Structures are given as structure tokens and as C-alpha cells.
Amino acid sequence: MPEPLLLQKLLNAPVAAAIVESGFDQVGGYVTAASEVVALRTPSDLLAAYGIDASPEFADVVRFVQPRLATFSAPSGEARPWQTFPNGFLLGDSLARVWTMERTRYPFGAEYWRIRSDGEQKCLSHYAGTARGWVGARQWRPPSPIVGTMARWRGAEFFADVQTETVLLTMIGDSAPAGFEQVRPGAWSSTVGLPECEIFERVFTAALDGVPVRLLRRTGPQAEVLLLSDDPAAAERLQARLMEPGVYEAIVDARRLENVQGVENQLAPPNG
């Protein structure tokens, strides 16, 4: 993809509820360029572009700048129970490009919008960084260190919300280095210059009964995983849940994971 874009993602009801109820901070799946869907001004117009025949009172979307280190691919052309986009465009006359974005954390400043049937659009919330999360969400869940940007700063690792010239560092723990502000119990933040940091993201993959997966979080003996296949038969065999079109997740015994491998993707220095 070219220069950073303002992206838009249509939210289904479970994902929208996860943001509002528990402050869900991860994003991936189908995304479009926000400027290319601006003419889809009503829920029915927007849903029709995704192959959904419905006229609800409202539709919810998130809009966010292309995340640092996020990777994109062309949508799968395989026949599936949901609408697919084998030509790389939404349906209808919008000619809006659509990509599949790999899972990452929302960037600072992401916005949650509601589009109503009369064409009114209203921003309901915004993502204020790793420590603060979605403003107004009923809960906050500590972020995962294996989804989204991290930073090395002065010999330590932190969660990182990368902005134009600065980085909002977040540490989860009982204490933090001098200069950090306690944002909530156990969460501390401080803003530093981008050139002072090494920005990276770790991605861990594995095989679960022969199906490729990505690790999203490890909690004790259990692992939350994202299937790297949208094959419904494989998902059914693993008892994975369909979170949104093309996105299956499961919570499994971590001992079932085989061939666990990790890579570290790094952001090139500003003048690199």
C-alpha cells in the first residue's frame, strides 16, 4: 500500500459489543479506504456494498490511520458462506478497494462512528492509547504483548502507541520509571520522541491439529489463537468461533500447539 491511509472497517454486532463492553483493542480482517466509501451514506448503502441485504436503523464503523507495521493482502477468492471480494473491490458502484489486514492493535486516535438511516454520522468514542483504551468503554482489558506495536526505550520494553514524531509508552505493573504517569491501577504512560525508540511487533504462529494459527494471548495453560485459514470445515473441527466474516478464533490448551515460531517485525528509523 502507498502512504498511510485513513481506513474504515464495518463492525458486526459482536465486535461492536466487544469494543463497548470490554474495550476490545484489536483490529483486522476486511478494511477499506475511508475516502472511497464516503458516498455510502446510509446503513443500507454500506451493507449492500458488503453483500448484505438489510436496512437497519444504524451501522457502526471504525476509522483509523493505517497502523504502523500492519500488513495487508488481497481478499481470498475461495467460495465461502459469507460474501467474498475476489476482485479486491466492494460490490456496487463505489469502486472501493478492500484488503484483508492482519491482526494488530488499534492505533492512537482511532474513532468509533455510528451511521444512521437518515444519513447522520456521529463519533461515539475514540481510542486514547494502550493504557486508556476506548473512551467510555465499560471495561478495560490489559493489552497483549504479542499483538500490536511495542518499543524498546532505555533498555526496557513497553507497549507503544506510535504517533507522527512521538511514542506514547505504556507499562503494565505495580510501578514504572520516573516520569511515567499512572493512568489507571497497574497502567503507566509517558510520551517520548520517536527517534529515542526502537519500534517492533512480535508475531507468533503455530499449528493446531494441522491448521496454521496465530497466537493472540497466552493466559496460564490456555492460548487464544486466530486461525490463519478461513476454511469453515477446519474451523468446525477445531470448534473455533466465527467472529466476523473470514475470522475464526479459539481458546485452546497451549500444549496442543506445535511448531511455535516467532518473528519480530521492526519499523525502519525515521531517516532510515
Query: What's the pLDDT tens digit per position in 200-223?
Result: 999 999 999 999 999 999 999 999
| C-alpha distance from residue 176 to each of 133, 158, 198 (Å) | 19, 10, 19
Give me the percent of the chain exceeding a pLDDT of 90. Answer: 93
pLDDT-derived band at 77 (thresholds 50, 70, 90) equals: confident
Q: What is the pLDDT of residue 268?
A: 85
Q: Residue 82 and residue 119: Cα distance in Å, rounded?
A: 26
Maximum alpha-carbon separation in the chain: 55
pTM score: 0.94
For 108-163, write each residue's pLDDT tens digit: 999 999 999 999 999 999 999 999 999 999 999 999 999 999 999 999 999 999 99
Residue 271 has pLDDT above 70, yes or no: no
For 93-123, write each residue's pLDDT tens digit: 888 999 999 999 999 999 999 999 999 999 9
Q: Residue 260 and residue 272: Cα distance in Å, rounded?
A: 31
Q: Residue 211 and residue 252: Cα distance in Å, rounded?
A: 13
Q: Cell 467472529 identifies what position?
A: 243
pLDDT-derived band at 1 (thresholds 50, 70, 90) equals: very low
Please check whether residue 157 is in contact with residue 39, taking contact to mean a CB–CB distance below 8 angstroms: no
Q: What is the pLDDT of residue 255?
A: 96
Residues 6 or more apart in contact with residue 178 via CB below 8 angstroms: none
Q: What is the pLDDT of residue 272?
A: 47
Q: Residue 159 and residue 131: Cα distance in Å, rounded?
A: 9
Q: What is the pLDDT of residue 242?
A: 97
Q: What is the pLDDT of residue 270?
A: 64
Using a 10 angstrom Cβ sphere, with 0-12 exposed, 13-18 middle and 19 or more buried, the burial of residue 116 is middle
pLDDT-derived band at 43 (thresholds 50, 70, 90) equals: very high
pLDDT-derived band at 191 (thresholds 50, 70, 90) equals: very high
With CA atoms as reference, report the closest residue to 258 among 210, 220, 222.
210
The b-or-e profile of 159-193 (16+ CB within 10 A means b, else e) is: bbbbbeebbbbbbeeeebeeebeebeeebbbbebe
